[in-house]
Amino acid sequence: MRKFEYTIKDELGIHARPAGLLVKAVKALDSEVSITKGEKTVSCAKLMAVMGLGVKQGDTVTITVNGGDEAASESAVKDFLTANL
């Protein structure tokens, strides 16, 4: 299992469009990826759950990567976040 933290820079936070892109990106990976904000953890493969976290600009989220090629998945998610959020 790999974990890392990321602080959202996009002014709108994880709104519908990037949430959709995130779900798409994660579904293409062979690892289980989840996102945690505060006490709540949801799977990154679930669009409405990710949107429901209400992640805003400045929030720090924890990404957890489990199973499959963890190193590759972690760096893919990191790249995605840096490029889009």
Partner 1 sequence: MERYQGKGVYGAVAYGRISVFKRQDIQVKRERTDDPAAELVRLEAAKAIAADQLREIYEKALKEIGETNAQIFEIHMMMIEDEDYNEAIVEMINSQQVNAEYAVAVTGDNFAEMFSSMDDSYMQARSADVKDISNRIIACLAGAGTDVKSSDEKVVICVDDLAPSETVSLDKEKVLAFVTANGSSNSHTAILARNMNIPAIIGLGEEFLGRIHDGDMAVVNGFTGEFLLNPDEKTVIAVEKKRAEEQEKRELLQKLKGKENVTIDGRRINIFANIGSLENIGAVLLNDAGGIGLFRSEFIYLESSDYPTEEEQFRIYKRVLESMAGKKVIIRTLDIGADKQCSYFGLKKEDNPALGLRAIRLCLSRPEIFETQLRALYRASLYGNLGIMFPMITSVSEVEEILKRCDSVKAELSACGIEYSDNVELGIMIETPAAAIISDLLAPLVDFFSIGTNDLIQYTLACDRQNPDVEQFCSTHHEAVLRLIEMSAENAHKYGSWIGICGELAADTSLTETFLRMGIDELSVSPSFVLKVRDAVRNTNLSGGKT
Per CB under 8 A, does 38 bind partner 1?
Answer: no
Q: Interface with partner 1 includes 48 (CB under 8 A)?
A: yes
8 Å CB contact between 42 and 52: yes
Angle at 67 between CA 72 and CA 35, to 5 degrees: 80
Sequence length of the chain is: 85
Binding flag, residue 84, partner 1 (CB under 8 A): no
Output the CA torsion sign for 11, 54, 51, 34: positive
Does the active-site annotation cover 72? no
Smallest separation, CB 56 to partner 1 (Å): 7
Q: Give the distance from CA 28 to its chain's centroid.
A: 13
The residue among 75 and 84 lying less far from partner 1, judged by its C-beta, is: 84
Give the binding site for partner 1 (CB under 8 A).
11-13, 15-17, 19-20, 23-24, 43, 45-49, 51-52, 54, 56
- So which residues are the catalytic ones? 15
